[in-house]
């Protein structure tokens, strides 16, 4: 009822807040025999980590996960997996001065309306800190996809403010391209169009100096996904992916394929023509274009799944903003503490994790149906 669990066959449950002792995830339904170590988890946790570059928050969390259950001799056992990531660098005193004020753009007001109380230190359960647990679960889900059908999920920054990356073939973008620049240096914005990177960094730095923040768009691509994942009505793959992405903080829009662009297209322009390639059992139906974003009727078509999430500019600003107190008196607020001037670079592994969780869940559900009465 309270929405702390997600998925059916591959089910994750998280608990934890930004300024509590830590965040934990329990993963239920992961098949046995998948190699899993702390080092595996560290890769995506490192991509999500605060303090990873000068354009993200300077909060300094080690984010070292502890695998508490479900792994024996380096492999999953098939029983529930529990992973704990302790919080380390909370500066709760940063929040003392604003505990009786509602931060614009945050969940302070709505939490008070819902629960009549809240942990005012850094957003509590609504903080992006909570996503550390999901990113850990996403690593396990990515392994299920890779092992199950050679599937892969890669996300990247498509847009910061009005700077839009040119990505001709989203399915060809590699993790290396997202993480590294051609000279081997870190790609701190995670934009695969390297020509855009310096301009994006400059914009983020300018906004930070101006005591402001900026939004953008992240594109998320799943490749190798077989046709047939997803249920035809309420649990459409597109519906579950939308819920997964909208469940992340700061996501204000989700689209797939041609997305909102479909509004101005004619049917003849929008349809993707089918064709078949190969012979015998290897004959495969594909589409010439992928405006449908890899899903038809909410079921995967076998073409790459291409989604985009619009991320709002960070709400916490050091500049003065108008607000009210918890007793409805007008006041102003400056949010001190350490905040990302642009959420996009750290959003990427979070978006990937949520896409991987949905695909792992639907793949296991598909296996359950397919192998019960094989044809």
Ligand X SMILES: Cc1cc2nc3c(=O)[nH]c(=O)nc-3n(C[C@H](O)[C@H](O)[C@H](O)COP(=O)(O)O)c2cc1C
Give the residues lining the site for ligand X (CB under 6 A): 57, 105-107, 123, 126-128, 248-250, 312, 314-316, 339-340, 343, 346-347, 350
* 341's tokens: 């001037």
Nearer to ligand X, 70 or 349 (CB): 349
Closest separation between CB of residue 315 and ligand X, Å?
4
Please state, in angstroms and rounded to a whole number, the distance separating the CA atoms of residues 52 and 59.
9
Closest separation between CB of residue 349 and ligand X, Å?
9
Cα 326 → chain centroid = 32
Please state, in angstroms and rounded to a whole number, the distance separating the CA atoms of residues 267 and 261.
12
Nearer to ligand X, 7 or 123 (CB): 123
Residues with Cβ < 8 Å from 330, sequence gap 6 or more? 322, 323, 324
Closest separation between CB of residue 127 and ligand X, Å?
5
Instruction: Report the candidate in 53, 74, 49 with the shortest Cα–Cα distance to residue 63.
Output: 49
Closest separation between CB of residue 350 and ligand X, Å?
6
Closest separation between CB of residue 249 and ligand X, Å?
3
CB 352 within 8 A of CB 153: yes
Q: Helices 131-149 and 344-372 meet at what angle, rounded to 10?
A: 50
CB 156 within 8 A of CB 173: yes
Nearer to ligand X, 155 or 249 (CB): 249
Beta strands in 283-366 (DSSP E): 284-287, 295-296, 299-300, 305-311, 321-324, 330-333
Closest separation between CB of residue 299 and ligand X, Å?
29
Q: Is 157 helix (H, G, I), strand (E, B) or coil?
A: strand
Nearer to ligand X, 52 or 287 (CB): 52
Closest separation between CB of residue 184 and ligand X, Å?
25
Cα 108 → chain centroid = 22
What is the number of other CB atoms lying within 10 angstroms of the CB of residue 224?
Answer: 16
Nearer to ligand X, 218 or 290 (CB): 218
Nearer to ligand X, 57 or 300 (CB): 57
Nearer to ligand X, 49 or 292 (CB): 49
């Amino acid at each position: 009822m309270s929405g702390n669990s997600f998925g059916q066959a591959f089910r994750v449950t998280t608990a934890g807040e930004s300024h509590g002792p830590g965040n934990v995830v329990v993963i239920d339904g992961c098949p046995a025999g998948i190699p899993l170590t702390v080092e595996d988890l560290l890769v995506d946790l490192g991509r999500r980590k605060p303090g990873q570059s000068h354009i993200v928050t300077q909060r300094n969390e080690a984010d070292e996960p502890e695998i508490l259950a479900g792994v024996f001799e380096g492999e999953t056992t098939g029983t529930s997996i529990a992973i704990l990531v302790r919080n380390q660098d909370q500066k709760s005193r940063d929040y003392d001065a604003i505990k009786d004020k509602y931060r614009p753009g945050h969940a302070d007001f709505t939490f008070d309306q819902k629960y009549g109380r809240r942990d005012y230190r850094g957003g509590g359960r609504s903080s992006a800190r909570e996503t550390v647990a999901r990113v850990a679960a996403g690593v396990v889900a990515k392994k299920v996809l890779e092992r199950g059908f050679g599937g892969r999920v890669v996300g990247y920054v498509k847009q910061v403010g009005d700077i839009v990356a040119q990505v001709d073939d989203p399915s060809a973008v590699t993790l290396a391209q997202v993480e590294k620049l051609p000279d081997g240096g870190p790609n701190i914005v995670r934009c695969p169009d390297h020509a855009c990177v310096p301009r994006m960094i400059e914009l983020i730095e300018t906004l930070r100096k101006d005591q402001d923040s900026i939004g953008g768009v992240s594109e998320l691509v799943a490749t190798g996904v077989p046709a047939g994942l997803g249920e035809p009505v309420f649990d459409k793959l597109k519906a579950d992916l939308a819920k997964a992405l909208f469940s992340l903080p700061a996501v204000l829009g989700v689209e797939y394929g041609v997305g909102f662009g479909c509004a101005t297209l004619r049917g003849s322009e929008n349809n993707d023509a089918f064709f078949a390639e190969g012979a015998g059992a290897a004959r495969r139906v594909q589409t010439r274009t992928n405006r449908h974003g890899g899903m038809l009727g909410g079921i995967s078509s076998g073409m790459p799944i291409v989604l985009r999430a619009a991320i709002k500019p960070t709400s916490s600003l050091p500049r003065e903003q108008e607000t009210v107190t918890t007793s409805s008196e007008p006041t102003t607020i400056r949010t001190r503490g350490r905040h990302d001037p642009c959420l996009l670079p750290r959003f990427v592994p979070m978006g990937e994790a949520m896409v991987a969780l949905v695909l792992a869940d639907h793949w296991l559900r598909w296996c359950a149906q397919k192998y019960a009465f094989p044809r």
